[in-house]
A and B are shown apart, each in its own frame.
Chain A
Amino acid sequence: DTEVTQTPKHLVMGMTNKKSLKCEQHMGHRAMYWYKQKAKKPPELMFVYSYEKLSINESVPSRFSPECPNSSLLNLHLHALQPEDSALYLCASSSTGLGTWRRSYNEQFFGPGTRLTVL
C-alpha cells in the first residue's frame, strides 16, 4: 500500500464551527506533514511530525491544532477559522533514517487533499 488517504474530500464550515481533517498511511512512515495550498500557489508547510512528535511548526495560528495519535494517523483540528483559511489542505508522509549519520532523503508521498471552504 503506497497510498496516503485524506478525509473528507470537501469540507464547508462556518467561522464558529469545530471540525477535523484526517490523514492516514500504512507505509510504515514515521514522518507526516500538513501543507496548505491556496489556489494557483505552491504548497506551504504547516506542521511536521516525526515519530509522533511535533518537530516543525511553521508559525501556524493556534486555530489550527495538529495531532498525531499513532504512527499511521495525522489529524488537523480546526476551530474559529477565517474565510482566508479556505484552501486545499494536503497531507504527506515519508520514511525516516533512524540511527544513521549518512545523509539521506526520504520521498514525501502526498494525499489527494481536503478542499476546505470557510464561510
Chain B
Amino acid sequence: AQSVTQLDSQVPVFEEAPVELRCNYSSSVSVYLFWYVQYPNQGLQLLLKYLSGSTLVESINGFEAEFNKSQTSFHLRKPSVHISDTAEYFCAVSASSPVRGGGSEKLVFGKGTKLTVNP
C-alpha cells in the first residue's frame, strides 16, 4: 500500500518570496507522483506529475518539483509566489501493477498544505 505525508498543514509566505511544500511518500513498488492544486470552492487541478525520466518536473506557472527516490520525497517549490497562488495543495501517489488492458488508477492523497500568500 502507498501513503503520502505532507509535513506542513499551513504555509504562510509573503508575495515574491520563495516557497517549498514538502511531500514524502511510502511505497514498496515504483510510483507515480502528482501535485494537485485546489482553489477555494473549486475542484482539483493537476499542477505537475512525475511518471518517469527527468526527476525535475515543471509546471507552466513557475512551480517545480523534484523526485528524490532515495529520500522518497517529491517537494514542490516556487522561487517567487504570487497572491493568486493562495490555495490548498495536495501531493498524491499512484502505484499500478502492469495489467493487461491498463485500467483505472487509484490515487492516494496527502492531507494537503494550505498555502497563503500575503501582500
Contacts and interface: CB of A to CB of B under 8 A. Distances in A.
B106 A90 contact: no
B101 A103 contact: no
A96 B103 contact: yes
Interface string A53-70: 001100000000000000
Contacts of B51: 105
A50 B43 contact: no
B103 A107 contact: no
B67 interface: no
Nearest to A96: B102
Interface string A91-102: 010101111111
The A contact surface, by secondary structure, is: loop
Nearest to A93: B104
Contact of B43 (A56, A101, A113): A113
A20 interface: no
A56 B104 contact: yes
Contact of A110 (B41, B43, B97, B104): B43
Closest 9 CB pairs of A and B: A97-B102, A42-B109, A31-B104, A110-B43, A110-B44, A112-B43, A96-B102, A105-B32, A50-B104
Interface of A: 4, 6, 31, 33, 40-43, 45, 48-50, 55-56, 90, 92, 94, 96-113, 115
Interface of B: 32, 36, 41-46, 49, 51, 90, 94, 96-98, 100-107, 109-112
29 contacts: A31-B105, A33-B104, A40-B112, A41-B111, A42-B90, A42-B109, A42-B111, A45-B107, A50-B103, A50-B104, A56-B106, A92-B44, A96-B103, A97-B102, A98-B101, A98-B102, A99-B101, A99-B102, A100-B102, A101-B100, A102-B98, A103-B96, A103-B97, A105-B51, A108-B105, A109-B46, A110-B36, A110-B43, A112-B43
